[in-house]
Amino acid sequence: MRIIYVTASFPFGPCEAFLMPELTALQAQGHELLLAPLWPRGEVVHKDAARFLSCCQGAPLISPSIIREFAAAATKHADCLLRSARRFTRTTPQAMFKNLIVLAKATWLARVAKDWKADHIHAYWASLPASLALVASELCGIPWSFTAHRFDIVGNDLLLWKAEHAQFVRFISQSGLRLSGLQGTTLEAKTTVLHVGVDVNGRSSQSAAEDMPVVALCAASMVPVKAHKVLIDAIDRLKARGISLELWFAGDGELHDSLWREVRKGDLEDRIKFLDLLSHSALLDLYASGRISIAVLASADLGGGLHEGIPVSLIEAMSFAIPAIGTETGGIPELLGGGAGLIVPAQNPDSMADALHLLSQNADLRQSLGKAGQKRVREAFSATRIATQITELFSGKREHLALAS
């Protein structure tokens, strides 16, 4: 198949690295890909993303050439563009403005898809990438679909309208599907739950030396929903218990400076290390090095649908047989349930400290839990298996839609 993936910025910028295993698996299965980032901004941060530049059409969101293309298409496709523009006005003012800007690039994408003889257009995110793919599909007649995560579901940028017009809607977790409000409606038949996949081939980590410290890694953006402060408080409690455990933060974000102040306030600099933002390949190398004993996230539910989907950082760590600790929020129980990891209540430093204490003191438990988590990932989060399933959906085969039930 010839498949267009509409991304937010990938392969540019620091985000969307989780797409790489799926895209790589699709190419390995013989499918041809064309990446069309909505807004191709920033450098290529992840060196393993550079290989996708050769199949990327990195046109800007708006430019003189795209405006000229829009002007030329406006006469030929006036009815379609006006219909989309009217629909885009039925949302919030901010979303309306962004969607109307996307109309111009949609005429460009429609032309690219037709010239490239694409079989399918798939948008990653239910927000503006889906708006772009929807209008382009209507202009060129090539079927389209989209993947919804979490924030883009909560934002509800004409989600029902997009679902009505898409060939199918993919959710990466059951919690995302529940959040969408599509269950129990006539549109439920168009939905499927298909997780984000990772490369599970040859994944293993080196055995840690006996004299190496026990290290817990939290790989996450420093934003409120990740609740890093809970982990800082948990380490403070472990220090009071005399438990030796290092916590490493890999990531950056709006809370970086305030978190660092909390670490200094608690005199925890010898126990908590800030690695800042790691490239995807550097993070995988760290998992493989044997230096990470535990993968942990303290994710919170902030209400209004502001919670985790299924965090890829935990999935990838588990693929290396690293035991994982997460909270009972969002889609995390779908990943760690049934003994594949440890689940603790959210916003509870004492419970988090207990879980970290338990794993830090029991190497046998770390090993058995790591193997159970790796088995879960191989069975349910293999990028190769997910690529096979999603291409069947692209082809119009609907057996896998039963996964949503």
For 72-135, the DSSP string reads HHHHHTHHHHHHHHHHHTSS-HHHHHHHHHHHHHHHHHHHHHHHHT-SEEEEESSSHHHHHHHH
- pLDDT tier for residue 279 given thresholds of 50, 70 and 90: confident
pLDDT at site 211: 66
Residue pair 228/298 in contact (Cβ under 8 Å)? The answer is yes
In the chain, what percentage of residues exceed pLDDT 70? 95
What pLDDT does 400 receive?
Answer: 45
Residue 154 has pLDDT above 60, yes or no: yes
Same domain, 53 and 188: yes
Whether residues 285 and 185 fall in one domain? no
- Is the residue at 207 inside a domain? no
CA 110 to chain centre: 26
pLDDT band for 308, please (50, 70, 90 cuts).
confident
Q: Give the residue-averaged pLDDT of 230-252.
A: 96
Q: Is 311 helix (H, G, I), strand (E, B) or coil?
A: coil
Same domain assignment for residues 175 and 263: no
Whether 210 is in a domain gets the answer no
Tens-place pLDDT, residues 170-204 = 999 998 999 999 999 999 999 999 999 999 876 66
The answer on 224 and 157 residing in a single domain is no
331 in the same domain as 246: yes
Nearest partner of 100 among 64, 78, 138, 128, judged by Cα: 128
Residue 202 covered by a domain: no
CATH code of the domain covering residue 256: 3.40.50.2000
Report d(CA 289, CA 294) in Å as an integer: 13
Which residues, in sequence order, are CB contacts of 24 under 8 Å at separation 6+?
Answer: 199, 383
Q: Is residue 50 part of a domain?
A: yes
pLDDT (0 to 100) of residue 93: 86
What is the end-to-end Cα distance of the chain in Å, rounded?
27
Is the domain of 282 the same as that of 184?
A: no
Q: What is the mean pLDDT of residues 210-235?
A: 93
**Rounded to an integer, what distance in angstroms lies between the CA atom of residue 89 and that of residue 62?**
20
Going by C-beta distance under 8 Å and a sequence separation of 6 or more, which residues neighbour residue 67?
A: 104
Q: What is the DSSP letter of 18?
A: T
DSSP annotation string for 50-77: GGGGGGB----SS-HHHHHHHHHHHHHT
Q: pLDDT at position 185, please? A: 93
Shared domain for 157 and 12, answered yes or no, is yes
Q: What is the pLDDT of residue 136?
A: 97
Pairing of β 144-148 and β 342-344? unpaired
| Percentage of the chain lying above the pLDDT 90 cut | 79
Q: Are residues 15 and 38 in the same domain?
A: yes
Q: Do the domain assignments include residue 249?
A: yes
The residue whose two tokens read 């069947």 is 392
Task: Tell me what pLDDT residue 398 has.
Answer: 61
pLDDT over threshold 50, residue 263: yes
Q: Is the pLDDT of residue 207 over 70?
A: no
Instruction: Specify the pLDDT at position 206.
Output: 62
Given pLDDT bands bounded at 50, 70 and 90, which one contains residue 280? confident
7, 58: one domain: yes
Mean pLDDT of the chain: 92
Q: Give yes or no for residue 395 having a pLDDT over 70.
A: yes
Residue 129 in this model has a pLDDT that exceeds 60 = yes
Do 26 and 171 lie in one domain? The reply is: yes
Q: Is residue 376 located within the same domain as residue 387?
A: no
Nearest Cα to Cα of residue 71 among 99, 108, 115: 108
* 401 has a pLDDT exceeding 60: no
User: pTM of the prediction?
Assistant: 0.87
Q: Are residues 317 and 228 in the same domain?
A: yes
Confidence of residue 402 (pLDDT cuts 50, 70, 90): very low
Q: What is the pLDDT of residue 127?
A: 95
Average pLDDT over residues 232-241: 97
Q: Which domain holds residue 236?
A: 215-380
Tens digits of residue pLDDT in 53-97: 999 998 999 999 999 999 988 888 999 999 999 999 888 888 898
Q: Is 211 strand, coil or helix?
A: coil
| Rounded Cα gap, residues 276 and 233, in angstroms | 20
Whether residue 203 lies inside any domain: the answer is no
Total number of domains constituting the chain: 2
Under 8 Å between Cβ of 391 and 29: yes
206 in any annotated domain: no
When pLDDT is averaged across residues 40-63 and rounded to a whole number, the result is 91
